Amino acid sequence: MKFNCNKQTLNDAVLNVTRAVSSKSTMPALEGILIKAAGSRLVLTGYDLEIGITTAIDANIYTEGTIVLNARLFSDIIRRMPENQITIETDEKLNVYINSGKSDYRIIGIPDSEYPELPSVTGSETITIAGEILQSMIRQTIYAISDKDIKPAHKGSLFEIENGFVKIISVDGYRLAIRKEKITYDGEKSFIVPGKSLSEVEKLIREDTKTVSMTVGDRHIIFRIGSYSIISRLIEAEFMNYKAALPSNHSTTLKVNTRKFISAIDRMSLLLNERMKSPIRCRIDNGMIKTSCNTTLGQAYDEFEAEITGEDLEIGFDNKYMLDALRNTETDEVEIHINGPLSPIVLLPSEGDSFIFLVLPVRLRNEK
């Protein structure tokens, strides 16, 4: 195999596919990138048996071939090369010669026969969605994916597609995030994508990504984003009945400035840390939202005006969970529904129905 290509183009591709490479494996090939030179294209693949990322870049191919190179070492070498062009050549003994200007490396490759095949997607249907919309939907729900839940389904997001709409739902036992958008697809589909895979999809979508296609199979899904393909296993488990978790009514409605609420909670959070956990106490009355926090480090109080209808109440919540929900509304104003101090706190857009975020309250102790 012999080829040469642009250093920056190769470096960008290597960095992106490396995110799917296993950092530690009993199979050395899984810690590597599969490189295939054919025609006028160089195809690079990273795969850790759960998620695979593949891309193709332009290159001058002199001799076709395939080899696996340790991802970390190869990435470090490419990044430090001095010139804009890089030439790579292999011999029959798996020696790999990398040249750029006056810099030369010789490293040992791994035969491509040791690299596992990416799974094929069977029983597939393809759904297309605008890149900007999918990126927004993932970004606004991924925070609520569980990283500790013993239920495998909650380590991913549920995609529900029906009646021309797609919903992405994430839950971790303490909070729930739902995003909804209209798409041009008439069928019905439901599947769970692991959080790690969605994180990589979100990172690869750029400002110039017009559309993303999702090819959904029985056990795997392929996201096609520009020149990249991400193949991920689907989580085959039962997702919780999230609709049953949504309160059917509420006694108090708040319309609040999102930035003001975030700032108030931020100020309370100065007295909180991993060792010093305490709920934020929120009193709602007389057109004011009054927040306070009391820990062994001290006390804090803040208040701000809001549009309030319904019953006055006092409720407690975890500062991090509420901040995550508020920040991911990505709106200037948010509507909040509460049905008493022990009912979930529901955040909605002030207009439309693009999201529903739910945060469980924390029971407050009486303080004198």
Q: What is the CATH number of domain 125-242?
A: 3.10.150.10
Mean pLDDT score, 239-251: 94
Q: What is the pLDDT of residue 125?
A: 80
Mean pLDDT score, 149-163: 91
Distance CA 44, CA 317 (A): 47
The 8-class DSSP code of residue 143 comes to G
Residues 46/21, Cβ–Cβ less than 8 Å: yes
Mean pLDDT score, 125-154: 92
Q: Is 243 helix (H, G, I), strand (E, B) or coil?
A: helix
User: Per the structure block, which two tokens stand in for 107?
Assistant: 């490293």
Residue 186 neighbours by CB distance under 10 Å: 9
Distance CA 173, CA 359 (A): 9
Residues 54/229, Cβ–Cβ less than 8 Å: yes
CATH says 246-359 is which class? alpha beta
Q: Categorize the per-residue pLDDT at 326 as very low, low, confident or very high, splitting at 50, 70 and 90.
A: very high
pLDDT tens, residue by residue, 32-86: 999 999 999 999 999 999 999 999 999 999 999 999 999 999 999 999 999 999 9
Residues 70/34, Cβ–Cβ less than 8 Å: no
pTM more than 0.85: yes
Instruction: Sketch the domain layout of the chain as residue ranges.
Output: 2-114, 125-242, 246-359
Q: What is the pLDDT of residue 149?
A: 65
Q: What is the pLDDT of residue 122?
A: 75
pLDDT tens, residue by residue, 183-218: 999 899 999 999 999 999 999 999 999 999 999 998
User: How crowded is the C-beta side of 286, counted as CA atoms within 13 Å?
Assistant: 3
DSSP 229-295: EEEEEPP-SPPP-HHHHS-S--SEEEEEEHHHHHHHHHHHHTT--SSS--PEEEEEETTEEEEEEEE
Query: How long, in residues, is the chain?
Result: 368
**Residue 352: left (phi > 0), alpha (psi -120 to 50), or beta?**
left
Domain 2-114 has CATH 3.10.150.10: yes
Residue 200 neighbours by CB distance under 10 Å: 20
Q: Do 2-114 and 125-242 share a fold? A: yes
Q: Is 122 helix (H, G, I), strand (E, B) or coil?
A: coil
The proportion of the chain whose per-residue pLDDT surpasses 70, expressed as a percent, equals: 99
pLDDT at 274 over 50: yes
Distance CA 229, CA 201 (A): 9
Mean pLDDT score, 354-362: 97
pLDDT at 251 over 60: yes
Q: What is the pLDDT of residue 167?
A: 98
Q: Categorize the per-residue pLDDT at 368 as very low, low, confident or very high, splitting at 50, 70 and 90.
A: very low
Q: What is the pLDDT of residue 123?
A: 66
Summary mean pLDDT of the chain: 94
Mean pLDDT score, 255-265: 97
